[in-house]
């Protein structure tokens, strides 16, 4: 065994141990409930699988092809894991569709059961390396410009590490010799040790980023006051198809804070909150017996998308239909005139 094979075997062996340690260490910190750091643990586990390919490939003369496919699956899972970590650090929950980013890696794992050495997978390693870098860049863009609410120091540590490792993988896949793989794995090991050092030095890196309850309550109170001004004075509820996004853009506050403020003060979701204002105006209009506006006209003018949506919201809040409500006030007015 030449010196390069010895070096790469030692380096990869240490890197695998370090990657597994970090993966399980981070997972152990996630004891109470699911948090975004679970995806960091999965990312490090996927990275360990990828490194294992270099370890077995250069240490043993014959390697089962399924191990090559498993390492390839690990490579293709690194980017999605970090992307889902980024997405799960925003206020809104992950969608089921977001998990489809793992689909290529899952298919590679499945294919490992029936694949053989005749399969040409070198191009998949190259594409996988570029994909990891693409995910890292996209995550940084979302971190900077998106609705992101996680631990910023943690993101910078792991984001820069993923980006650097992606460049190393690109370098390895195109150089494709033992010297290049050895240098790349040494650099990857250094990055893993930096992550380990930073996590041990700053325990807050794995803590959930939460505002104090008092500070959060004051923020929600302030936002709700602004919301009531828009609804009471400017009557924004009359806008057909009004959404949380529209309100967020107008108030210059994140969607999740507006939703929380309404939930905190009124105990309802956004659509119910908007409809409550619309129903109040509808009731006032129905009581105006002189105007006697058609219900279809009222529905349109107060912001309902259709007459049926008015009927549904009105009955939910008053337990009667608009016609019954109007008839009740007509009868009341006639009684008072007698």
Phi, psi of 173 (to 5 degrees): -70, -30
% of the chain at pLDDT higher than 70: 92
Residue 169: alpha-carbon gap to chain centroid: 26
In total, how many domains does the chain have? 2
Tokens at 235, concatenated: 């009557």
Q: Which residue has better confidence, 330 or 233?
A: 233
For 7-54, write each residue's pLDDT tens digit: 888 888 888 899 899 999 888 877 656 678 899 999 999 999 998 887
Alpha helices in the chain (DSSP H): 3-28, 37-59, 65-88, 103-111, 122-145, 152-175, 178-201, 213-232, 244-251, 255-266, 270-287, 295-302, 307-318, 322-337
Domain end marker among 183, 206, 229: 206
Q: Which of 18, 3, 282 is nearest to 274 (CA)?
A: 282
247 shares a domain with 114? no
What's the chain's Rg over C-alpha atoms? 29
179 shares a domain with 57? yes
139 shares a domain with 14? yes
Domain end marker among 206, 236, 254: 206
Neighbours of 82 (CB within 10 A): 27
249 shares a domain with 181? no
176 shares a domain with 35? yes
Confidence band, pLDDT 50/70/90 cuts, at residue 274: very high
For 134-170, write each residue's pLDDT tens digit: 999 999 998 887 767 778 889 999 999 999 999 998 8
Host domain of residue 16:
3-206
237 shares a domain with 318? yes
Lowest mean pLDDT among 113-117, 294-298, 318-322: 113-117
200 shares a domain with 250? no
- Is residue 28 helix, strand or coil? helix
Does residue 94 have a pLDDT over 70? yes
Q: What is the pTM of this model?
A: 0.63
Domain end marker among 206, 238, 272: 206
Residue 130, pLDDT score: 93
194 shares a domain with 237? no
260 shares a domain with 190? no
Domain CATH number, residue 270: 1.10.10.60
Residue 259, pLDDT score: 87
Q: Which residues contact 206 (CB under 8 A, 6 or more apart)?
A: 26, 29, 37, 154, 199
């Amino acid at each position: 065994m030449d010196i390069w094979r010895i070096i790469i075997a030692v380096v990869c062996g240490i890197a695998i141990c370090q990657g597994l340690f970090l993966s399980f260490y981070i997972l152990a910190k996630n004891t109470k409930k699911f948090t975004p750091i679970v995806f960091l643990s999965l990312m490090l586990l996927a990275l360990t699988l990828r490194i294992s390919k270099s370890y077995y490939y250069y240490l043993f003369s014959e390697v089962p092809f399924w191990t090559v496919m498993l390492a390839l699956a690990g490579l293709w899972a690194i980017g999605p894991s970090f992307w889902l970590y980024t997405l799960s650090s925003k206020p809104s929950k992950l969608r089921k569709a977001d998990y489809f980013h793992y689909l290529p890696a899952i298919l590679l794992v499945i294919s490992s059961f029936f694949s053989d050495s005749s399969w040409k997978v070198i191009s998949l390693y190259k594409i996988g390396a570029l994909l990891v870098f693409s995910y890292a860049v996209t995550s940084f863009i979302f971190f900077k410009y998106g609705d992101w609410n996680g631990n910023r120091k943690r993101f910078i540590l792991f984001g820069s590490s993923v980006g650097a490792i992606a460049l190393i993988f690109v370098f390895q896949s195109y150089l494709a010799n033992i010297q290049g793989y050895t240098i790349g794995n040494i650099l990857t090991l250094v990055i893993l040790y930096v992550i380990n050092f930073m996590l041990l030095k700053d325990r807050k890196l794995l803590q959930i980023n939460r505002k104090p309850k008092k500070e959060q309550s004051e923020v929600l109170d302030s936002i709700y006051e602004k919301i009531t001004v828009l609804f009471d004075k400017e009557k924004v509820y009359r806008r057909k198809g009004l959404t949380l996004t529209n309100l967020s853009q107008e108030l210059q506050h994140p969607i999740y804070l507006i939703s929380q403020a309404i939930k905190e003060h009124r105990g309802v979701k956004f659509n119910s909150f908007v409809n409550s204002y619309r129903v109040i105006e509808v009731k006032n209009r129905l009581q105006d017996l002189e105007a006697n506006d058609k219900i279809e006209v009222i529905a349109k003018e107060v912001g309902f998308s259709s007459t049926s949506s008015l009927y549904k919201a009105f009955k939910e809040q008053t337990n009667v239909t608009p016609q019954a409500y109007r008839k009740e006030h007509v009868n009341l007015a006639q009684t008072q005139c007698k």
